[in-house]
Amino acid sequence: MSMVSVRGVTKCFPTATGFVNALSPVDLDIDAGEFVSIIGPSGCGKSTLLRILAGLEQHTTGEISWGSQHGRDKVGFVFQEPVLLPWKSALANICFALEAFGIKGEAANTEGRRLLKLVGLDQFADALPSQLSGGMRQRVAIARALSYDPQILLMDEPFGALDLLTRDKLNDELADIWAKTGKTIVLVTHSVEEAAYLSDRVVVMSARPGVVKRIYILPFERPRSEATKLLPEFHRLMADLRQDLK
């Protein structure tokens, strides 16, 4: 069942000399419980598409339809930077988000601690963002996004600024979170390996104005591991993805 359907969506941005077309007509279906990655050249509109899905940008033309009555009200968003409140602890950052949904007091504290445990940070509930590594801060941001109990989690290059080892570790943790929660996840990434490792499908977008150039269905069994990355078919897939990005 489709969680969200995108039909003929375009986006034009005004400039001093006219307009820039960021997205040509885009058609895409995302199924409930699916993990989809979107890759494409810089400036192709993949982050713009994600922001349109989140309601942070308005599309110029086209239609977006949601498969449930909650629709966009049940969307979680993880930005490139964690954007945590620096004066609040990891737990307090999550509880602050919960309070916006009317969950307060001990109920918020209990749920916040459950989410921190889900992302492996239950021992750091009282730590301030400045006391956490970049990867740990991003895990708090993921827990905060999950606090909304979203039907779909949208992630805009959340691990792009991290070192390779930390990124690989968080990829495994994200795959585990997805398996445990059953959430629909849409990930925008510049990393071909990250997309191939995490996804059920990889959507390749063309250069600006972006359109869906090709969609790959990934054959690799779950749960995946470092052994997955050694498979010949995994390397063939990455080669195909890189070729499509040219």
Q: Report the predicted TM-score, pTM, of the whole model to 2 decimal places.
A: 0.94
| Domains within the chain, CATH numbers bracketed | 2-68+151-245 (3.40.50.300), 85-148 (no CATH)
pLDDT in tens, 134-166: 999 999 999 999 998 898 999 999 998 899 999
Coil/strand/helix, residue 67: coil
Burial of 169 (0-12, 13-18, 19+ CB in 10 A): middle
Cα 160 from chain centroid (whole Å): 12
> Within 10 A of 105 (CB to CB), how many other CB atoms are there?
9
pLDDT in tens, 30-54: 999 999 999 999 989 999 999 999 9
Residue type, position 34, single letter = E
Kindly report the average pLDDT of the chain as a whole number. Answer: 93
